[in-house]
Chains A and B, each alone.
Chain A
Amino acid sequence: MPFFQEIILNLKHYWAERGCIIQEPYDVEVGAGTMVAETFLRVLGPQPYRVAYVQPSRRPADGRYGDNPNRLYKHSQLQVILKPSPEDVIEQYLGSLEAIGIDLRHHDIKFEEDNWEAPTLGAWGIGWQVMLDGLEISQFTYFQQCGGIDLDVVPAELTYGLERLTAFLQVKDSVYDIEWAPGFTYGDVRYLDELQYSVYNFEMADIPTLWKLFELHEGEAARLLRAYDPDAPDKMRFPLLPTYDQVLKCSNLFNTLDARGAISVTERQVVMGRVRRLAVAVAAAWIDQQLARSRAEAAQ
């Protein structure tokens, strides 16, 4: 019975063998691995890319004070991007499950239609949720659009819900009973995160402060985007990656305000639209910048 960390290590190893860069988690709060620039920006443009990383994904509204055995404020996704998607991508994916000890001749795997969409990123794709013996363990998506832009090359995105997968393999009814490493359960490592962030997100986060922060980050992103000049000869220097960090901050603050009950349903659409506009603008600038880079490389 593999430990949580062994499952992660095995999956990373498996994808490293298939040509993926193994990245470390991004250090800005995100709601999903897709939001990290390694996915959001790298899927744009024609350059091939292959990357895998574990991304702690924060969803303030999903917190349950550590009481619910299946729901977490912060869960861990293994995110794999294969750009372009290889022809045998599903076989490769199934192989990864076998690599962590699931004998698929004795388990029931089904691919059920599930088209993924992230409105705040202007992103969507076609795909499935992958069901293992009735449990959703992965999301499999062929990206079609990102930042509101049709993609030149279609990447496959594989997202594994690591806690679920491990609970399944270790036959645990509660996430907190997962054995993370010899002598340490998931609860030992993460319980306080769940409890304290739930208290903060639902009870103690100061709404005016969060709004102020949201506006500061939004303002900074907007200021930078205004300063981006596609005609500037040295535009490669322009800090689009830091600009995108500001957008991620906005997104996380929005989610926290939402969990705190500070955003009415009508406001929701409006605020999501504000985040989306920034994300889309970064994507457009990024494509412009990359185009300049590939031209410069071609010229050399």
Chain B
Amino acid sequence: MSVPFLLEIGTEEIPDWMIPGALSNLRLLFEKLEIPYESVALDATPRRLVLRAEGLPERQPDSEERVVGPAKSAPAQAVAGFARKHGVQPENLVIETTPKGQYYSFVKKIEGRWIKHILAERLPELILQIYFPKTMYWTGKGGPRFIRPIRWIVALLGEDIVPFELAGVRSGAITSGHRRLGAREIGVTIADYERRLGDNYVILSAEQRRQKVAGEMAGVRVKPDPALLETLVYITEFPTAITGNFDTQFLELPEEVLITVMRHHQKYFSVEDAHGKLAPQFVAVMNIDADREGFVCRGNERVLRARFNDARFFWETDQKKKLADRVEDLNAVTFLKDLNERGSYGHKVARMVSMLGGDPLAERAAELSKCDLTTELVKEFTELQGVVGGLYARAQGEPEAVWRAIYDHYKPESMEDSIPRNREGQMVSIADKIDTLRSCFRVGLVPTGSRDPYALRRAAQGVVKILVEGEVKIPVIELLKNNEQLIAFFEDRVRFYFKDVRGFKYDDVNAAMAAGWSDLKDLESRLVRIQRLRPTPDFEPLAASFKRIRNILEQANFNQPIEFNPGLLEPGPEKDLYEEYLRIAGQPIENVISRLRPKVDLFFDKVLVNAPQPEVRQNRLMLLFELRNEFSKVADFSEIVTNS
């Protein structure tokens, strides 16, 4: 008979962003128990991680195991000892013939264990194995670690409690409702668990919470913000959306500032009017069922008013000192203390300017790019660095090319983010990121494994993205100043970008990069060509031949060109191949592949490269060498992984 299983780990409020990861980890750990089941479902609220499975057996099946003992030649005493140790009669032992010889053995019957007992034994460890980025202890030094204190555990297999104890908490059949709207102790069965929670103002399903909020916001023109919605879904057990207003006078402040205050500081959705402009409204999501008295709405409105007043105060104060007058102050702001006397933002900016090749607008933008770090507004809303500088530069009459460049120069902040809109912004962004990379590498702050505290991978990928997608034409290698470690680091980032961000096949990327990756736009266009060429019938066979060529050349240690003597060519496939080569050399591979391939095939079919006469052999190697050079300008086709 099969039974359902329910595990609820009741905790204090878990950080929202860790919950989805914890659930998939929990599923994985459950699968590793190797207990069969028909289906499994995971749910969570901030106060509970829940795993429900259907169709578990009540017991493991019985099984048999052959236990092998002493050799047939062993003294009787040893045989008796073996039998005694395993509780079998010596006469019940049989002789087993194995490749190593003949041995006494018997078949041991293993009774299947109750699943309940297995779970009781394994669950405490399983729960503590759930991965969280940061954990705590709460029962005392050396005690169990979890993301937040565990306060109750529901563990049911069918009708039965799976009994165990963890961190002083005994598993049982009692859950807990919403902190203020529900009962503190609620007896449950597997069948009524979710309904009982619902009665106590806990919506177990994240999807239902999402739907509830989305439905309640449907009447308002909310700026879509899926990430914020996820946060709110996992920070509430019973979410309810309410709409509040703010004074239209605040709309004089830049939208960027208003939205940041609402989104990052208050977790509100912002609202647009019919023309897509910011409306003086917001949507907040509460963790209760209703705001009957309007307390919550008024409270949030007041908090927002205070926040906006602060922002306005900063905005006005900051304007009293122009960005251009703040350049000097950057000498007192640390960029990277390991650089010692060159570690201030003042020095960083000077280095950025020197990278910009005399472009006056880009240089001006770079010079002012970090000045907003000294403004009150950025000190308060650090996530607005760059944006605030751009807004101030605009207000202070800097040309559009300059203020936009400042505004955008932290972009792209992720691979989904767009690159700076204008060329100057792209140049400043590259200069900023390259300086960060060079500076960190110079003092040994190189990312290792998952540790990348200065976000150097993101910086390098940003440079790659701009060089591929933007208007700036600089060979990436030139930026790296022969720093081999940095070149290797970038090579990985270029590969990652084309493979994981752009979705090119890994061997296409390897092949194209092997033909050079200094010019990333050129690399991109070569990749597109390979991608188109790859499904054509001649491609893979030719790639296989190129791999063969590479191996032959490597084995012969042939890596320097020599004088080629056409007179030594044998008539037939060898000569044909050479003449074909002369006709098609210099043409794009796409146009000639169908002519090249049969000649190459025939050559390998009929001609022995390792000819007995050394001069003929060397001449043939040279022919292959030349062939490979000529047709490896788009990609090194020998890097293509073929099925043949």
Does B528 interact with chain A (Cβ within 8 Å)?
no
Inter-chain contact B46/A134, CB cutoff 8 Å: no
Chain B residues lying within 8 Å of A196, measured Cβ to Cβ, are none
Does A203 interact with chain B (Cβ within 8 Å)?
no
Chain A residues lying within 8 Å of B46, measured Cβ to Cβ, are 111
Does B299 interact with chain A (Cβ within 8 Å)?
yes
Does A185 interact with chain B (Cβ within 8 Å)?
no
Contact size class for B? Answer: 35 or more
Does B141 interact with chain A (Cβ within 8 Å)?
yes
* Residue from A85, A128, A133 within 8 A of B300 (CB atoms): A133
Does B558 interact with chain A (Cβ within 8 Å)?
no
Q: A126-B148, A154-B139 are in contact. Are A107 and B333 (CB under 8 A)?
A: no
Taken together as a complex, chains A and B put the C-alpha atoms of A138 and B89 apart, in Å, by 72
Among A95-137, those with CB < 8 Å from B are 104-113, 115, 125-126, 128, 132-135
Distance in angstroms from B126 CB to nearest chain A CB is 22
Stretch in contact with the other chain, from B109-117, B302-310, B479-487, B569-577: B302-310
Chain B residues lying within 8 Å of A150, measured Cβ to Cβ, are 141
Inter-chain contact B303/A264, CB cutoff 8 Å: no
Chain B residues lying within 8 Å of A265, measured Cβ to Cβ, are 332-334, 344
Chain A residues lying within 8 Å of B12, measured Cβ to Cβ, are 90, 111
Inter-chain contact B292/A266, CB cutoff 8 Å: no
Chain B residues lying within 8 Å of A153, measured Cβ to Cβ, are 140-141
* Residue from B16, B296, B303 within 8 A of A107 (CB atoms): B296
Inter-chain contact B299/A105, CB cutoff 8 Å: no
Among B280-296, those with CB < 8 Å from A are 284, 286-288, 291-293, 295-296
Q: Name the residue on B nearest A136 (C-beta).
A: B303
Does A173 interact with chain B (Cβ within 8 Å)?
yes
Taken together as a complex, chains A and B put the C-alpha atoms of A87 and B184 apart, in Å, by 13
Stretch in contact with the other chain, from B130-138, B397-405, B411-419, B493-501: B130-138
Does A47 interact with chain B (Cβ within 8 Å)?
no
Q: A69-B309, A154-B139 are in contact. Are A109 and B299 (CB under 8 A)?
A: no
Does B72 interact with chain A (Cβ within 8 Å)?
no
Q: Name the residue on A nearest B169 (C-beta).
A: A87
Taken together as a complex, chains A and B put the C-alpha atoms of A125 and B302 apart, in Å, by 30
Distance in angstroms from A69 CB to nearest chain B CB is 7
Distance in angstroms from B148 CB to nearest chain A CB is 7
Taken together as a complex, chains A and B put the C-alpha atoms of A132 and B310 apart, in Å, by 20
* Residue from A70, A112, A128, A142 within 8 A of B306 (CB atoms): A70
Among B9-29, those with CB < 8 Å from A are 12-13, 15-17
Q: Name the residue on A nearest B282 (C-beta).
A: A134
Does A151 interact with chain B (Cβ within 8 Å)?
yes
Q: Mark A236-278, 1 if CB is under 8 A from B, else 0.
A: 0000000000000000000000000000111001000000000
Taken together as a complex, chains A and B put the C-alpha atoms of A134 and B305 apart, in Å, by 12
Q: Mark B309-328, 1 if CB is under 8 A from A, else 0.
A: 11001000000000000000
Chain B residues lying within 8 Å of A94, measured Cβ to Cβ, are 179-180
Taken together as a complex, chains A and B put the C-alpha atoms of A278 and B134 apart, in Å, by 28
Q: A70-B306, A108-B288, A152-B141 are in contact. Are A115 and B134 (CB under 8 A)?
A: yes
Distance in angstroms from B417 CB to nearest chain A CB is 24
Does A68 interact with chain B (Cβ within 8 Å)?
yes
Inter-chain contact A266/B295, CB cutoff 8 Å: no
* Residue from B151, B236, B295, B313 within 8 A of A106 (CB atoms): B295
Taken together as a complex, chains A and B put the C-alpha atoms of A185 and B333 apart, in Å, by 40
Chain B residues lying within 8 Å of A2, measured Cβ to Cβ, are none
Among B254-289, those with CB < 8 Å from A are 266, 268, 284, 286-288
Contact size class for A? Answer: 35 or more
Does B181 interact with chain A (Cβ within 8 Å)?
yes
Inter-chain contact A128/B137, CB cutoff 8 Å: no
Distance in angstroms from B302 CB to nearest chain A CB is 7
Inter-chain contact A104/B180, CB cutoff 8 Å: yes
Does B343 interact with chain A (Cβ within 8 Å)?
yes
Does A3 interact with chain B (Cβ within 8 Å)?
no
Chain A residues lying within 8 Å of B305, measured Cβ to Cβ, are 173
Chain B residues lying within 8 Å of A107, measured Cβ to Cβ, are 288, 295-296, 299
Q: A87-B151, A144-B136, A265-B333 are in contact. Are A109 and B306 (CB under 8 A)?
A: no
Inter-chain contact A106/B138, CB cutoff 8 Å: no
Distance in angstroms from A210 CB to nearest chain B CB is 19
Does B235 interact with chain A (Cβ within 8 Å)?
yes
Chain A residues lying within 8 Å of B235, measured Cβ to Cβ, are 110, 112
* Residue from B295, B296, B306 within 8 A of A69 (CB atoms): B306
The total of Cβ contacts below 8 Å across the A-B interface reads 107
Q: A69-B306, A108-B296, A173-B306 are in contact. Are A85 and B138 (CB under 8 A)?
A: yes
Distance in angstroms from A278 CB to nearest chain B CB is 22
Distance in angstroms from B63 CB to nearest chain A CB is 43
Taken together as a complex, chains A and B put the C-alpha atoms of A134 and B13 apart, in Å, by 17
Inter-chain contact B332/A152, CB cutoff 8 Å: no
Q: Name the residue on B nearest A151 (C-beta).
A: B141
Does A168 interact with chain B (Cβ within 8 Å)?
yes
Does B337 interact with chain A (Cβ within 8 Å)?
yes
Q: Mark B535-555, 1 if CB is under 8 A from A, else 0.
A: 000000000000000000000
Inter-chain contact A128/B334, CB cutoff 8 Å: no
Chain B residues lying within 8 Å of A70, measured Cβ to Cβ, are 306, 309-310
Inter-chain contact B299/A135, CB cutoff 8 Å: yes
Q: A134-B266, A154-B139 are in contact. Are A264 and B332 (CB under 8 A)?
A: yes
Inter-chain contact A152/B300, CB cutoff 8 Å: no
Chain A residues lying within 8 Å of B17, measured Cβ to Cβ, are 113
Chain A residues lying within 8 Å of B310, measured Cβ to Cβ, are 68, 70
Inter-chain contact A154/B180, CB cutoff 8 Å: no
Distance in angstroms from A129 CB to nearest chain B CB is 11
* Residue from A87, A108, A142, A154 within 8 A of B287 (CB atoms): A108
Inter-chain contact B140/A135, CB cutoff 8 Å: no
Distance in angstroms from B281 CB to nearest chain A CB is 15
Distance in angstroms from B240 CB to nearest chain A CB is 9
Distance in angstroms from A249 CB to nearest chain B CB is 26
Taken together as a complex, chains A and B put the C-alpha atoms of A161 and B300 apart, in Å, by 17
Taken together as a complex, chains A and B put the C-alpha atoms of A151 and B344 apart, in Å, by 38
Chain A residues lying within 8 Å of B139, measured Cβ to Cβ, are 154
Chain A residues lying within 8 Å of B306, measured Cβ to Cβ, are 69-70, 173
Taken together as a complex, chains A and B put the C-alpha atoms of A151 and B136 apart, in Å, by 11
Chain B residues lying within 8 Å of A187, measured Cβ to Cβ, are none
Q: Name the residue on A nearest B289 (C-beta).
A: A105
Q: Name the residue on A nearest B294 (C-beta).
A: A106
Does A84 interact with chain B (Cβ within 8 Å)?
yes
Taken together as a complex, chains A and B put the C-alpha atoms of A106 and B242 apart, in Å, by 13
Q: Name the residue on A nearest B306 (C-beta).
A: A70
Inter-chain contact B181/A105, CB cutoff 8 Å: yes
Inter-chain contact B140/A154, CB cutoff 8 Å: yes
Taken together as a complex, chains A and B put the C-alpha atoms of A150 and B145 apart, in Å, by 13
Q: Mark B206-240, 1 if CB is under 8 A from A, else 0.
A: 00000000000000000000000000000110000
Chain A residues lying within 8 Å of B138, measured Cβ to Cβ, are 85, 142, 154
Distance in angstroms from A28 CB to nearest chain B CB is 29
Chain B residues lying within 8 Å of A154, measured Cβ to Cβ, are 136-140
Inter-chain contact A105/B180, CB cutoff 8 Å: yes
* Residue from B179, B268, B332 within 8 A of A109 (CB atoms): B179
Taken together as a complex, chains A and B put the C-alpha atoms of A81 and B167 apart, in Å, by 22
Inter-chain contact B180/A132, CB cutoff 8 Å: no
* Residue from A90, A132, A269 within 8 A of B337 (CB atoms): A269
Residues on A lying within 8 angstroms of B by beta carbon are 68-70, 84-85, 87, 90-91, 94, 104-113, 115, 125-126, 128, 132-135, 142, 144, 150-154, 168, 171, 173, 264-266, 269
12 A-B Cβ contacts within 8 A?
A: A107-B288, A107-B299, A108-B299, A109-B179, A110-B287, A126-B148, A132-B299, A133-B295, A134-B268, A134-B284, A142-B149, A269-B337
Lowest 10 A-B CB distances belong to which pairs?
Answer: A133-B299, A113-B15, A111-B13, A108-B286, A134-B300, A126-B136, A265-B334, A134-B303, A104-B180, A108-B296
Known pairs A107-B299, A135-B302 / 6 extra A-B pairs, C-beta < 8 Å = A106-B293, A108-B284, A108-B288, A110-B287, A134-B303, A173-B305
